[in-house]
Each structure stands twice: as structure tokens, then as C-alpha cells.
């Protein structure tokens, strides 16, 4: 690792994460002392790093998060909704993380609100929470957001249940189209306000180049996925909890490390979740 860091341009926050994980539980972050009131026995524990990328530190946080969300659940069905942008935008995201991830949140959240307010589907104000993921199974950049959405909302001072017997939340094809429109509109605003950093690999030198790129992106699949209600509200929170405090690569997925090569396992979602390396 030292050789790699010395010979590669690794961002400062990446270096901090590596350092934290290497030093986790070694005593570098201090100690916790517990004293027995009866026999005065002193137990010493090395403090953890607390870094959100550290697999050793996430278990307890995940449990607390899930318990808190369960306490806030309503006695209604809950839906799991995912919004994903096309892979063509990956390089742009890498160079504009804060701007484009904010845009991803804003455009997807506003899409859900718009459909919730539409009397054809519900006609009420809905609440939800979302969790951003920036990677996929192969650890390559794959920005998408997981939302937990209750099957209903508030209309004035009364609750309204989702229509059509709750078989689905909102039509996913329509969600995808509206989401795409909002995201592209926001992306254009950022570009024409000169707020975006355009990587050279995208070959965008003029406004015409940018508009041509947008045309290609619009033509790609924009995926909005909505899963049928879980059997219980608690089940959806526990399912999402798996994503909230999950590191990009857990130890059990590392199959071998040989010099500069690391082999990992992953699920191929295009082949019925078949495991590959």
C-alpha cells in the first residue's frame, strides 16, 4: 500500500480513509476504560476509527439506524424505489461529485413529490428518505439512489392511501421520463453557468458538443425501479439498512491478492445475479 500511495496521485480524503482503516482498533485513536464497581477490575479497549468506509465500524451504526427508522414507521405499506442515471454520465460525476449528486437527489425527490401530488396517482404530500450509492457490484462508479416511500400521504388534515389497491406506487416508465427531464434540465443549467468541470476524455469543447452529448444521454435508458410493498414496514427498513452502512468492498468478497492484482467476487445482475470473479 505504501508503494502505491507513493507512486500514484491519490486524493487526500482517500488517503485519510486508508489511514483510518489501517489504524482502526490499534490504539491510535485512543482507548476506552471500563472499571467494575465491585472488584475495580479495569478493562481496556482500543477505540475504533469510526470511518464510514470501515467494515468493522459499520455493524453497530447500522443496527442503531435501523432501530431508529423502525420507531418512526407508519402503519402503512412501504415501497422501495431506485433512480439510476446512464453510465455515460459517470465521468462527469467523478469530476463534479457534489454538484451532480445533489442534482441526482433533487431531480429524483422532486419527481416523487410531483407524482404524489398528482390526483391521478395519489393527490397528497408524501414523505420519504433516500440513500445515495455511488458504486455497483464491480466497484465501478454507478450513481443511484434508494428511496423508502410510504404508500400514501397527507391531503390537508387527512391521510390518503395510494390508489389502485396499492399494487404499485407510481408507474415506473412515467417516473423515468419525468426524472430524466428534471435531471437534464438541471445539468444544462450547471453547464451554461460554467459550474461543471468537463474531463478531457468527454471531448466537449463547444456548446454544440455539449448539446450533442446531451442528445445521446437522453436517448439512453433512464431507470426508475419500484419494488412491490414488503410484507411488513419493518422488512423494508431492514432491507435498506443493509445499504446504509455498507462499505464498497467487504473482506469476504476478496478472493486473492497477488502483487498488484486483486480478484473479487460480484453478482452479475444481467445474468440472474450469478456470482462471478
Are residues 197 and 126 both part of a single domain? yes
* Residues 210 and 241 reside in one and the same domain: yes
DSSP characters for the chain?
A: -HHHHHHS---HHHHHHHHHHHHTTTTTT-EEEEE-TTT--EEEEEPP---TT-HHHHHHHHHHHHHHHHHT--SS-EEEEEEE--GGGHHHHHHSHHHHHHHHHHHHHHHHHHHHH-TTTT-SB---EEEEEEE-TTSSEEEEEEEEEESEEEETTEEEE-SGGGS-SS-HHHHHHHHHHHHHHHHHHHHHTT-----GGG---SHHHHHHHHHHHHHS--EEEEEPPPSSHHHHHHHHHHHHT--SS-GGGEEEEETTEEEE-EEEGGGTTEEE-
**Using 50, 70 and 90 to split pLDDT, how confident is the model at 31?**
very high
pLDDT at 87: 93
- Name the domain count of the chain: 2
Residue 274 lies in a domain: no
pLDDT tens column, 178-225: 999 999 999 999 999 999 999 999 999 999 999 999 999 999 999 898
Inside any domain, residue 257: no
26 and 65 within one domain: no
- State whether 162 and 236 are in the same domain: yes
Is residue 41 situated within a structural domain? Answer: yes
Band of pLDDT at residue 54, cut at 50, 70 and 90: confident
Quick one: 10 and 114 in the same domain?
Answer: no
Whether residues 60 and 41 fall in one domain: no
Please indicate, yes or no, whether residues 96 and 213 belong to a single structural domain of this protein: yes
Residue 258 lies in a domain: no
Q: How confident is the model at residue 7 (pLDDT cuts 50, 70, 90)?
A: confident
| One domain, residues 26 and 115 | no
Domain boundaries, position 34: 2-46
Q: Do residue 97 and residue 165 come from a single domain?
A: yes
Q: Looking at the structure, tell me whether residues 80 and 202 fall in a common domain.
A: yes
Q: Are residues 177 and 95 in the same domain?
A: yes
Instruction: Say yes or no: 40 and 70 in one domain.
Output: no
Amino acid at each position: 500500500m505504501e508503494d502505491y500511495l507513493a507512486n500514484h496521485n491519490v486524493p487526500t480524503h482517500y488517503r485519510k480513509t486508508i489511514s483510518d482503516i489501517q489504524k482502526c482498533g490499534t490504539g491510535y485513536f485512543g482507548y476506552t476504560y471500563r472499571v467494575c464497581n465491585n472488584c475495580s477490575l479495569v478493562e481496556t479497549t482500543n477505540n475504533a476509527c469510526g470511518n464510514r468506509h470501515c467494515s468493522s465500524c459499520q455493524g453497530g451504526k447500522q443496527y442503531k439506524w435501523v432501530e431508529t427508522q423502525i420507531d418512526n414507521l407508519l402503519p402503512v405499506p412501504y415501497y422501495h424505489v431506485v433512480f439510476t442515471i446512464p453510465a455515460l454520465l459517470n465521468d462527469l460525476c467523478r469530476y463534479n461529485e457534489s454538484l451532480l449528486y445533489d442534482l441526482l437527489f433533487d431531480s429524483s425527490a422532486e419527481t416523487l413529490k410531483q407524482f404524489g401530488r398528482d390526483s391521478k396517482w395519489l393527490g397528497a404530500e408524501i414523505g420519504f428518505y433516500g440513500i445515495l450509492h455511488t458504486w455497483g457490484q464491480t466497484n465501478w462508479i454507478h450513481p443511484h439512489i434508494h428511496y423508502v416511500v410510504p404508500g400514501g400521504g397527507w391531503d390537508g388534515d387527512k391521510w390518503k392511501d395510494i390508489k389502485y389497491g396499492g399494487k404499485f406506487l407510481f408507474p415506473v416508465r412515467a417516473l423515468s421520463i419525468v426524472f430524466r427531464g428534471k435531471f437534464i434540465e438541471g445539468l444544462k443549467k450547471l453547464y451554461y453557468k460554467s459550474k461543471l468541470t468537463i474531463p478531457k476524455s468527454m471531448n466537449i469543447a463547444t456548446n454544440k458538443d455539449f448539446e450533442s452529448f446531451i442528445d445521446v444521454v437522453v436517448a439512453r435508458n433512464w431507470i426508475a425501479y419500484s419494488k412491490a410493498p414488503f410484507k411488513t414496514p419493518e422488512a423494508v427498513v431492514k432491507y435498506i439498512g443493509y445499504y446504509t452502512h455498507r462499505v464498497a468492498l467487504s473482506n469476504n468478497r476478496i478472493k486473492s491478492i497477488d502483487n498488484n492484482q486483486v480478484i473479487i467476487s460480484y453478482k452479475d445482475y444481467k445474468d440472474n445475479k450469478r456470482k462471478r470473479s
